[in-house]
A and B are shown apart, each in its own frame.
Chain A
Amino acid sequence: MALLQISEPGQAAAPHQRKLAVGIDLGTTNSLVASVRSGQAQTLPDADGEHLLPSVVRYRADAAPVVGAEAREAAATDPRNTISSVKRFMGRGLADICKGCSCTDYDFADSDSSVPRIRTAGGDVSPVEISAEILKSLKQRAEATLGGELAGAVITVPAYFDDAQRQATKDAAQLAGIQVLRLLNEPTAAAVAYGLDHGSEGVHVVYDLGGGTFDISILRLNRGVFEVMATAGNTALGGDDFDRAIAQWLVEQAGIDPQAIGAGQGRAILHEACRAKEQLSEVETVLVSLPLAGGGSWTGHLDRAQLNTLMDPLIRRTLSACRRAMRDAGIDTADVEDVVMVGGSTRSLRVRELVGEFFHCEPKANIDPDKVVAVGAAIQADILVGNKPDDEMLLLDVIPLSLGMETMGGLVEKIIPRNTTIPVARAQDFTTFKDGQTALAVHVVQGERELVDDCRSLARFELRGIPPMVAGAARIRVTFQVDADGLLSVSAREEASGVESAVQVKPSYGLSDDEIAGMLQDSMAHAEGDVAARMLREQQVEAERILESLDAALREDGDILSDEERRKLDAAIADLREAEAGDDARRIKTAIQALNAASTDFAARRMDASIQGAMAGHKIEEFS
């Protein structure tokens, strides 16, 4: 007997119309992919039933890279080609990496490029490319499990990730062929997973301690609106650092000369430190065994008291960040409803103990701390892709670090303060200082300090095409805009003439558009299958998405356009439909651009109309 398919109320009526969307937690130690199926957000396992994908990539000569558990096994025996915790390198320059003492773990190539590359048996690879391999693996897993092409993904990032780190994540997704619906902050994702479970209104704290990063976010939940009040953290503090501290102590105990430790031996010792740490959550003392250079091993003991001594200084640093976030949010521990634990490192008993003491409450960990972020991301992905048109959930996040501009004397002028709700746009007026000057450079940095050198350089924006005038006559309005992904874009306009400047972005720690295009070409050249077919399919999918979206919009609000405007828009739509049915990818791309331009007016007016409609209702109330 055939089973009737009854869809849940509030979902798209016909199941086959549901789009496939996933949430991806691209973690330092482990990555996961999750999706909403039959109304439930669940992580997706691989063929062996494993949900966690170790964020480890092993490169080989003349063979495709290996991702996951298999790669991790090789870490001790093939350390130079097996990259772990690549997240620590995203959006970072070589100088930063060396400061953190990670540059000896791998063979970093000397290069002028701002993007560090690691020499492996499979070639020189950048952190973005390495992360792309992990994402590709998750994408394959999802498409195989869900039985179709992904329409998009929400990818999570630490809340404290700066612009360069976020852009690197987006670049990795692009290389992996994933359409990013949103970059979502990990604590916010966790809040979504918990919030919908319990729905308790008020102020919540999310304490997220992963393998390599720490975030604390303070959120207010009010009728389905998650409002981030403040966030703080450290993108170079996590479980890995506990492991390092433990490893250091063990090496001392064993009398091993730290300078004499080989790469393979070093990785093996770290693994052992990690194992011991995890086991001490279950037992009081563990036996530890370290491999020695000449062969054989040293054995010793590690107990809870010693572990706590090693972990406490690091945990205290996280509590310092908690204090700062609470100040910024203007709250006290008494105002907090609950504290949610996220990230594998929060399984540690000592972490739970000290956090509980600090907030005077028992931290919550009912949802698996490894999975909660991916689950929250999947919930949002389901909504963003359009599967739940009536959903009222709204996520209002913030920028974690102040954005500023370099001014005279190496000082920073803050443009957008930290914890400002995004999207946000602020404008600054500039003028020229030479007659006929047609270009202007703006150096943007991120951070809280007063000197440019103490902040993170994001990029240099070159504004070109300023109409030549007498020095000081031009009034150039530069607008700094941070979007919902937390990414900065800069635009500029000369006010008197109305001329928009062309903006060229030179990221300080990132890939230029050309470099990405180059990587995409390379990856496609090496991939199996027909490159041309893949590019055509990508354009077709994009075209379908836009056409569907516009169709729906016109059905609802087509009447706000005049006959003439409607005619022009319809022509652009017809053009794209025709291009899409063909097999010329470039023609489709051009038609998409033309349609975007043609629909700009409609989009703007439509939004105005919605707003005025909603507010008009209130005005009538007031006067009646």
Chain B
Amino acid sequence: MPTTDLSSHYFDLFGLPVCYDVDPQVLAARYRELQRIVHPDKFAGGTDAERRSSVQMAARINEGFRVLKDPLDRARYLLELKGVALDDTSSAVDPAFLMEQMELREAMAEVRDSADPHRALQRVSEDIAARKRQITDNMARLLDEDDEASLQRAQDETRKLQFFRRLEEELDALDEELAGF
């Protein structure tokens, strides 16, 4: 059964060039513009077919916005578009990064026992945010090239971002626990 064309990718959908760096203001404006066209509220009195298309399209635009807004998801998406699948089993992890991982895990383990757990947690959170920024600031240079070496490095850097995300999720759970939820 024919449905709305879902084969174009998110950059096309949002009228954006296929590059890593995305202006968040422009993205948000495009998102609102698109939802104004397709949102089910515009088709409340329409035919069944219109309502179905509308829900599918609105869901796709919400997903596209979510992916393009987040630096990690955007990186993974671009790699996918370039035919590079990111697996979670990182074969060669550079030793410097392994050190980074251990340091951060140690810092997290010390949060509960510290004199001011909330402050300690905040410091780890800020540390992770700073390391993420270093990577994302450099990502465009790697992802927008098409040569093997750059893509390989982009993959490595993306894996690091994935690790940081897992840490942030654990920090979040710890924060909830400390807040008594």
Contact = CB atoms under 8 A, between A and B. Distances in A.
B153 to A, nearest CB: 28
Interface string B12-49: 11110100000000000010111111111100111111
Nearest to B4: A604
B3 interface: yes
Contacts of B15: 614-619
A425 B59 contact: yes
Contacts of A597: 49
Contacts of A481: 55-56, 59
Contact of B30 (A181, A324, A545, A618): A618
A483 B53 CA distance: 11
Contacts of B62: 420-424
A396 interface: yes
A324 B55 contact: no
B14 A608 contact: no
Contacts of A546: 47
Interface in A133-189: 151-152, 181-182
* Most A-side CB within 10 Å, residue of B1, B44, B52, B179: B44
A601 interface: yes
A254 interface: no
A386 interface: yes
Q: How large is the interface on A (under 10, 10 to 19, 20 to 34, 35 or more residues)?
A: 35 or more
B12, B45, B46 — which one has the most chain A CB atoms within 10 A of its CB? B45
A604 B49 contact: yes
B5 A182 contact: no
Contacts of B46: 549, 553, 603
A82 B63 CA distance: 47
A441 B53 CA distance: 26
A403 to B, nearest CB: 13
B56 A425 contact: yes
Contacts of B3: 604
Nearest to A613: B37
A610 B37 contact: yes
Given A323-B179, A425-B63, A483-B55, A614 B34 contact: yes
Contacts of A421: 62, 65-66
B59 A614 contact: no
A242 B57 CA distance: 44
A591 B4 CA distance: 24
Contacts of B48: 596
A610 B12 CA distance: 14
Contacts of A619: 15
- Which of the listed residues A392, A549, A553, A611 has the most CB atoms from chain B within 10 Å of its own CB? A611
Point out which of B4, B12, B40, B59 has the most chain A C-beta atoms below 10 A from its C-beta: B59
A37 interface: no
A549 B50 contact: yes
B37 A600 contact: no
B73 to A, nearest CB: 14
B101 to A, nearest CB: 25
Contact of B13 (A181, A222, A500, A611): A611
A573 B165 CA distance: 53
A478 B65 CA distance: 22
A597 B50 CA distance: 11
A384 B5 contact: no
Given A324-B181, A481-B59, A610 B2 contact: no
A207 interface: no
A511 B63 CA distance: 32
A324 B46 CA distance: 38
B14 A615 contact: yes
Given A394-B39, A481-B56, A603-B50, 15 more contacts: A152-B45, A223-B32, A323-B181, A327-B175, A327-B179, A421-B66, A423-B56, A549-B45, A597-B49, A602-B49, A604-B5, A604-B53, A611-B13, A615-B15, A617-B15
Closest 9 CB pairs of A and B: A615-B15, A384-B44, A425-B59, A603-B49, A484-B40, A618-B15, A600-B49, A596-B48, A423-B59
20 contacts: A152-B45, A223-B32, A320-B181, A324-B181, A423-B56, A425-B55, A481-B56, A483-B55, A484-B40, A484-B55, A500-B1, A546-B47, A549-B47, A599-B49, A604-B4, A607-B38, A607-B53, A611-B34, A615-B13, A622-B17
